[in-house]
Structure 1
Amino acid sequence: MRMIARKQNATWVPATKLCNLIAAKPISDASSPLFKDTTAASSWNVNWVLDRSTRFASFVSLLKRCGQTKALNDGRLVHAHIKRYKYDRNTFLGNWLVRMYGDCGSMEEARAVFDDLPYPDLFSWTVLMKSYTKNGYGREALECFRQMQLCGNSPVPASFVCALNACASLAALEKGRQIHAAVVGSGYEGHVTVGSALVNMYGKCRSLEEARSVFGRLPDRNVVCWNAMISACSQNGHAKEALSLFDQMQGKDLKPDPVTFVCALDACASLGALAKGQEIHVAIVDSGCEGQVIVGTALVNLYGKCGRLENARTVFGGLLHPNVVCWSAMIKACIQNGNSKEALDLLDQMQCAGIMPDHITYVSALDACASLPDLEKGQVLHTAIIASGYEGHITVGNSLINMYGKCGSLEQAKNVFHQMPRRNEVSWSSIIAACAQNGHGMEALVLFSHMQVDGFKPDHVTFVCTLDACTALATLERGQMIHASIVDSGYEGLVVVGTALVNMYGRCGSFENARNVFDRMSHRNVITWNAMIAACARNGHCKEALNLFNQMQAYGFKPDEVTFVSSLDACASLADLETGKKIHVAIIDSGYDRLVPLGNALVNMYGKCGCLQQARRVFGQMPHWNVISWNSIIVAYAQNGHGKEALQLFHEMQYRGVKPDQITFLSLLGACSHMGSVFDGRHYFQSMIQDHGIVPRLEHYVCMIDLLGRAGNLDEAENLITNLPVANEVSAWLCLLGACRIHGDVERGVRAANRVFKLDPENVAPYVLLSNIYATACG
């Protein structure tokens, strides 16, 4: 039999043992340690089991303890003993049974006990309402409030508090206002407990003005009331006001309690106000509240959001008995600070400590899998979620979709989506994003239409995901249609939406539209500037990209690694070595010089600027290399006429176990073409297909045709074109036409030019090349 609880400096016994004692002989030793957990030994009569009132007190004590420790089975045993004495229809004990079952989360049994009471009193209704609200049954709680009044029971402050808390949990503002009117009619508005519940209800229902109004009219305010008002401000985006109230409260000689500290720390976390949070932390230590789990959890959350993971670890490590909420906060702090692997390790430690994850823990753990990405661990978690019964929870389902999408398993993401019993806007946004991220942009747009047909109104997140799909497909027309919907919905002014629009227009080649959106934005962040700089660099406005890079800093925005990469790309396109070197210095000053993406961009920039020695130096100083790193240095050597060195670098890349991709082979074929090495070109072309399983793209064929054409192998080049598996072959025929000009092959040149005329009648290049061939032949 499981023990009900274990508490330091107290002796606890199983509920069944105490129940047996109630029915057994009198206890001769009133100082027995068996009674230390219930009441002072001196208050017990040696014949306590024979005394009805004492027996009632014993049952109440046991029921209370069962509820506190969530010992449902032990509570049922106590209930069985109550039935044995035929006390189960006693209203006093019945109320305590309702409370015990409610505390243990068994509302069916709580309701059954209530329904069996012959004369439920006002306390009975209040306990039932409170139990319903506590277990997330707000509607049932409000129905109890209605039935209670129909039975002729006038609400008292405790009843109003339960009903208002139910409204708060449901965000039922109109119902809350009706109950507020009843409170006023009953004369309880000035009651501090009811007033606190009203402030809390209006805060949870997003009506901060009404919360302020109630708070301002209260004649007396205690700590609970101040806590409700501070929380209301923090929850409604007025964190600065929340902290101001925190200071005002202390100025009125009211001592903050743990809940006050939690509300204030949440406000600091939302503002990123680390200094204020640390000041509050000192006050918490002075008050002796640091060891309390709810306070420790709030501190972990604060330090996690403020990028102080080490502080979060210290606070967490100092808690004697962290609960599932605290573990979840620590797991989330790790993810927020880029330590997703540590987050998953913590999940394992948490379960080893005997604490089972809840839906919030699973959401954070799935986010960690998504960021890594770790599909295998995500699938293990999915199995655990099903076993735990959380799969039907909407936030868990949304996180599963996100995880599978980020891990490249679109089919599993779709399976989760279709099996969800309920969906919200986040569910649709998640599956739309999963499709867009995995190259199924058209499917994402179809889902966007279905979402609206199903009666869901897109929010700003949905629009951002859909714009990403348009970006992936480069569908400018559809992107413009979605832009019109965004304007109609009033979301264009949001930074995240404006940034997505700039990115979409930039990638779809509509530079003017990107610039117009950017110029109209009243607020911008670093990501917005990055999107506009990238749009400039991508669309041939490289000087403007570098001007924006300078403007961004003039406005007080600090460049991040993405900013530097786009700016270096602009320098590479302009072959602007001087500016590129300045940006390199800024990268070192910012501490980003060890980041691989920036190393790759620097190698590319120095290579394009013809500074091979510096490119090789940057490459050599990188902490590790990925395939992009090797491609960048190979391209740098190949483009600067060092084909043999480029081929040597390729062999070193393979020796180090880095798998080449399509761009690697495109660089190698370009190097072979510049060297005129047909043998090597054929070898790498075949190796790409046979050894590495890479399907050649049109660019590879064109590169091979250029190599063969330059070497005079025009028959082989033309034969390769006629067997092309790709549809658009204009560039291939133009490449052959260029080779015909070099080698004076008029007949083949005419043939090539005629093919281009048919495929692209508007193209003037074949006329120029053909006239040059004729001029050479006649000259």
Structure 2
Amino acid sequence: MPSCNIDARNRYTSRIRQCKQWQEAIWLFSRLAPNSLRADEVSYGSLISACGKGGQWTLATTSLRAARLQGLQEDIISYNSAISTCGKEFEWKDAIGELAAVALRQLEADRISFNSAIGACGQAGHWESAVTLMDKLVRKFQANVITMNSVISACAEPGQWQAALVTLVHLELGRIEADIISHNSCMNACSKASQWQLALSILRGLQVLGLQANVISYVSAIDACDRSFKWEEAIAVLEELTRSNLKAETMCFNSSISACAKAHQWQLALELIQTLEVSGLRSNTISFNSVMSAAGDASLWQMVLSFMPMLSQRHLMPDIISYNCCMNACGRAVQWQLAVHFLAKIESARLKATEISFSSAISACEYGLKWQMAVCLLSLMDLRRLWANVVVLNSAISVCSQAGSWQAGLSLLAEIRHRHLQPDLISFNSAIAACVTKAQWQVAVCLMAEIQESRLQADEVSYNTLTLVCAARECRGGQWHSALFLLALMESRSIVIKKKTFESVIDACMWAGQRPMALLLTDDLETKARHWLTKGMDKTSAGVLAEAVDRPGGTLGDAEQVRRHEQVGSVPPSAVELPLVKCASQML
């Protein structure tokens, strides 16, 4: 190449290197070919560096590959720039790939190469890869504090506090002086793992090591207390910060406010916001969201709503969490109309409703017994392509249950399976409860059988609710014997029998003309019922009941032999259908 062309190329390369904007660097590089100039290793290196500074990892790695295709021998500086850029953009796999390419190009990776790749893994929270790279580095070079800090930082994100502390110890053993970044990263790892005692110990030990704590140190310590629900300790650290020469930041107060809110100390959280603003700091939406959440949990729905205009007065925009707090508070206060209103306002605020938003609104409908609205909101979730989980669907089933719409409740239970989800015990219990109003005892018995088939453990709610279905007034006492059998089953399993359940069974016995049995249950409910269930049944009676349950095709109608033996009842009950017998057999 003529010397004039070399000089021209060098001028372009120098201008590319001096570019502050990556777009300008690309434009200058693109002018080489039209001017009959051939890019060399230095030109590509300058372009890669410019793209790296601009955070354009794709362009940096593409330029590196283009240089290889041109048959150029890139230097380690170009690779280091590309690896560093990948790290800044959380592209840890590409960073490791470029580090591997260094060896393939017969180049010698230096400490900067490894540190950049370790930093990339740290940014993405892939601590195992960071530790592996550190092991490779120490075989060739002496690790420095930058290396160790990158590894500790990698351990911090996933909360690998043990690995972070071990790395900090390695620093001391390797005679590498740990700096404030090392200790802050360790505190951050402890914070993510809710190890608040360790975080505070590291903070207290800084002075002994001759290190000066900074604001980040205190933020990590307060955050650790927040995550561990230690609101008193969080405030103590905040007070220590305010007494120091450091200027507390809003995030320090926000972590303390959050800690108080989680402990239901909403008054104290509100005082901290006032202290924050008096200190000359600016509160933000996060500050108020924590207080709104705590006030909502305390059923102070009007107070929660009053914070919305406060945000506007401070020129703060409510976010989706703010609206969710309002809907949650309204739901707890049976203000379902307001909850749905705030759900609609999310759209006008140009925010996107989340699964939590709809879940809060559906829960509000549960408190307000508006099952039709709950079902509509579920349909709206599908239209918005939001995933309704079992918890959301359970809320909708519960609404139908309390409103007495057993068909809708069963439909939603089937919908859980249709969505390839697994119904839990709450799903079945809510569906059984939906059968109480219309006394759909056959359906309730089948649901109890499904609980057994699903390998779930029926609880006291399951048994008491099923008994209420069998003893419901709509049955007019027709299933009084089934209700008595369930009482016996609960007694044998030491399951708590609720007073309402006893009273319903007594009522069913009265409807069936079983006055002696009703009086027996009424006279000291628990004692007399236990007497009938244990002492009142001799071996012959118990055998008849067991035979009725175990015999294929048998019915609990045979249990009337027990009643005749005891000469308590006078009206023979109708036979309970096969589903209850099968269910009873499984339960026994």
After TM superposition, list the pairs within 5 Å mapping 1:652-691 onto structure 2.
Answer: 655=455, 665=459, 667-668=461-462, 671=465, 674=468, 677-681=486-490
- Mapped contact 1:246–1:264 kept (Cα < 8 A): no
1: distance between equivalents of 2:52 and 2:122?
A: 19
Aligned partner of 1:29 in structure 2 is: none
Aligned partner of 1:362 in structure 2 is: 152
Opposite residue 512 of structure 1, the aligned amino acid is Q
Q: Could you tell me the percent identity over the aligned residues? A: 10
Among residues 122, 125, 133, which one is paired with 1:350 in the alignment?
133
- Mapped contact 1:507–1:535 kept (Cα < 8 A): yes
- The root-mean-square deviation of aligned C-alpha atoms, in Å, is 4.3
Structure 2 unaligned blocks of 5 or more:
1-13, 33-42, 69-73, 103-112, 436-442, 470-482, 506-520, 528-588
Among residues 414, 437, 455, which one is paired with 2:227 in the alignment?
437
- Mapped contact 2:257–2:269 kept (Cα < 8 A): yes
- Mapped contact 2:231–2:260 kept (Cα < 8 A): yes
- Mapped contact 2:231–2:259 kept (Cα < 8 A): yes
1: distance between equivalents of 2:188 and 2:500?
A: 44
1:554 to 2:348 alignment: yes
SS class of match (1:423): coil
Give deviations 1:410-432, integer Å, cap 9, x for gaps: 44444444434453333333333
Among residues 494, 499, 512, which one is paired with 2:289 in the alignment?
499
Aligned partner of 1:188 in structure 2 is: none
Give deviations 1:260-309, integer Å, cap 9, x for gaps: 222211xx7xxxxxxxx75677667657789622223323533x3xxxx6
- Mapped contact 1:575–1:605 kept (Cα < 8 A): no
Aligned partner of 1:564 in structure 2 is: 358
Give deviations 1:477-526, integer Å, cap 9, x for gaps: 21221121132245555333343343333334333343333332433443
Aligned partner of 2:532 in structure 1 is: none
Opposite residue 317 of structure 1, the aligned amino acid is G
1: distance between equivalents of 2:235 and 2:499?
A: 38
- Mapped contact 1:362–1:381 kept (Cα < 8 A): yes
1:419 to 2:205 alignment: yes
After TM superposition, list the pairs within 5 Å mapping 1:323-722 onto structure 2.
Answer: 323-333=114-124, 335=125, 343-351=126-134, 353-354=136-137, 357-368=147-158, 370=159, 378-389=161-172, 393-421=179-207, 422-454=212-244, 457-519=247-309, 520-521=311-312, 522-588=316-382, 591-593=385-387, 598-609=389-400, 610=405, 611-621=408-418, 630-641=424-435, 644=445, 647-648=448-449, 651=452, 655=455, 665=459, 667-668=461-462, 671=465, 674=468, 677-681=486-490, 704=498, 706-707=500-501, 715=524
Opposite residue 93 of structure 2, the aligned amino acid is R
Structure 1 unaligned blocks of 5 or more:
1-220, 231-242, 269-276, 336-342, 371-376, 687-700, 719-779
- Mapped contact 2:320–2:353 kept (Cα < 8 A): yes
SS class of match (1:292): helix
Give deviations 1:420-469, integer Å, cap 9, x for gaps: 44533333333333333334334434444444345554422222222222
Q: Would the alpha carbon gap of residues 581 and 467 (structure 1) be closer, same or farther in structure 2, given more than 3 Å must change?
A: same
2: distance between equivalents of 1:637 and 1:644?
A: 11
Aligned partner of 2:85 in structure 1 is: 298
Opposite residue 419 of structure 1, the aligned amino acid is G
Residue 359 of structure 1 deviates from its aligned partner by 0.9
Aligned residues between the structures: 425
Residue 612 of structure 1 deviates from its aligned partner by 2.5
Q: Would the alpha carbon gap of residues 381 and 432 (structure 1) be closer, same or farther in structure 2, given more than 3 Å must change?
A: closer
Structure with higher RCO (Cα < 8 A, 6+ apart): 2
Normalised by the length of structure 1, the TM-score is: 0.46
Normalised by the length of structure 2, the TM-score is: 0.59
- Mapped contact 1:571–1:580 kept (Cα < 8 A): yes
2: distance between equivalents of 1:582 and 1:499?
A: 28
Residue 601 of structure 1 deviates from its aligned partner by 0.9
- Mapped contact 1:537–1:569 kept (Cα < 8 A): yes
1: distance between equivalents of 2:425 and 2:78?
A: 54
2: distance between equivalents of 1:508 and 1:252?
A: 67
Opposite residue 674 of structure 1, the aligned amino acid is L
SS class of match (2:234): helix
2: distance between equivalents of 1:465 and 1:388?
A: 30
Residue 244 of structure 1 deviates from its aligned partner by 7.8
